[in-house]
Amino acid sequence: MQLKFTKMILVMAVAGLVSACGQKIEKSPDKMVRSGIQRIMTEDNQFNFSGSYQTEFIIQNNENKSSSEITEPTIASEVSAPEASVSEEEYDDDDTSELTEYHRKQMDLYNKSIGKFLGQFGKSFSVPFTGAVDMKKGVMEVIPEVRYEDKNVLISFKFPTYLDFNNLSLYLDGSAITHLSDTMPDNEMVIGDKYMQFTVPQDKAQHLPVADLLKSLPKSVDNGYASIDPSAFKKVDVDAFGKTLEAKYQVNLNTDYASSLKYNTVFLQSLSNALKETAAKADKNNKYKPEDYTLLANIIEALASIYSNNDNVLADTPMGAYLEQLKNKSNLIVNNFYFDSKGRIIGVRVKTDLPMAITGMEEPKGTIRIDYKLRMDYTGSPKFTMQPTPQNSINIGARLGW
């Protein structure tokens, strides 16, 4: 009896040792991240998540700068119509100098006021969110909340959204707005308590090989991360946010916008190539025709050109101009990945600064600081808030004759 008990203890000890060795994280930091992301997409792809998106406006202070460092405003656009119509001959150099100084001071006062407003707005504004992912069933849910909270004020709008990849549908709970819009006079589309459904029309959906696209997604995402220099990934001590997640490991990845755009290009090009390879192998028994794959691949290649240095299909648009500016910026994007003892990613935090001018705001000059946090809870049976059905949804596209 004692011998059996001893053998049992030995077996349990060996099993524990093997288990511990199996969970030991010995991979390089870049492979930890790439492996963790692959697990999210292929293995541990049923989970709930939560997080927040916050912005902070940091306004540049011109008070300590010399007048030569401050961009002079265009006087003609700021004086009143009668003043603007007066000829330059009616002003001598002293008058013009005084007028320029006056408008500079006025602009400084205006910028300070806007800066204070944006600073206060950034402190009070946030977008917390929750959601669920069940890729085995092909569904995903995200519930963003647009929130403004401060002393004696709370404004909050939630927009629950549900994606069903099986029927290429998006369901939106717009009751935060429709409860009022439904009561408007002459409203021809009352939503009531139903979800709004946006579905790709069947005549187009039957030519979109989305299932094959999703199969190629993990490898394409990995190719994108593989394009980043492995030395950019650093294992660091777990920070305060990671400790709230009870993370065991943390990997930091600092990139610039050029690297980020390169990642997008490689990722999208990889997707396109995978679709073209599938098209070449498609036979007459395949659900989709070769031209269906080629069409989708060409759409993805057009998206890839937006991020690459090739001809940008959005070159003459505000978005194209915005991306061109990003390519020339050296601002860091600070990414942190948090892992549990099993090597699973249980959280992500991304921080970056954007020059306000890049968003089209020339004045006031300053920076928009973005802080994005995400937490994953691997329950194995994610909880969904929305349960869309044909009975509780209104197909908006069908109503509008799409």
Please tell me the predicted confidence (pLDDT) of residue 40: 95
Please tell me the predicted confidence (pLDDT) of residue 402: 60
Q: Pick from 90-99, 140-149, 283-292, 392-401 the range whose average pLDDT is largest.
A: 140-149
Residue showing tokens 């690297």 = 259
What value does the mean pLDDT take over residues 320-338? 77
Q: Pick from 27-41, 53-67, 75-89, 200-214 the range whose average pLDDT is largest.
A: 27-41
- Percentage of residues in the chain having pLDDT higher than 90: 49
Which tens digit of pLDDT belongs to each residue from 257-305?
Answer: 888 888 999 999 999 999 999 988 888 788 888 899 999 999 898 888 8
pLDDT at 324 over 80: no
Please tell me the predicted confidence (pLDDT) of residue 20: 41
Which tens digit of pLDDT belongs to each residue from 36-59?
Answer: 999 999 999 999 999 999 999 887
pTM over 0.95: no
Please tell me the predicted confidence (pLDDT) of residue 7: 43
pLDDT at 330 over 80: no
Please give the Cα distance from 342 to 69 (Å, whole number): 54
Please tell me the predicted confidence (pLDDT) of residue 101: 78
Q: Is the separation of the CB atoms in 344 and 36 below 8 Å?
A: yes
Q: Is the separation of the CB atoms in 273 and 294 below 8 Å?
A: no
More confident residue, 63 or 196: 196
> Residue 311 carries which side chain, given as an amino acid letter?
D
Q: By three-state DSSP, how is residue 374 classified?
A: strand
The DSSP 8-state label assigned to residue 230 in this structure reads G
Please tell me the predicted confidence (pLDDT) of residue 303: 84
Please tell me the predicted confidence (pLDDT) of residue 335: 96
Please give the Cα distance from 170 to 163 (Å, whole number): 5
Q: How many CA atoms lie within 13 A of 274 on its CB side?
A: 21
pLDDT band at 397 (very low <50, low <70, confident <90, very high): confident
CA distance readout (Å), 267 to 35, 222, 229, 250: 16, 8, 15, 24
Please give the Cα distance from 261 to 307 (Å, whole number): 5
> Residue 91 carries which side chain, given as an amino acid letter?
Y
The DSSP 8-state label assigned to residue 219 in this structure reads H
pLDDT band at 91 (very low <50, low <70, confident <90, very high): very low
pLDDT band at 95 (very low <50, low <70, confident <90, very high): low
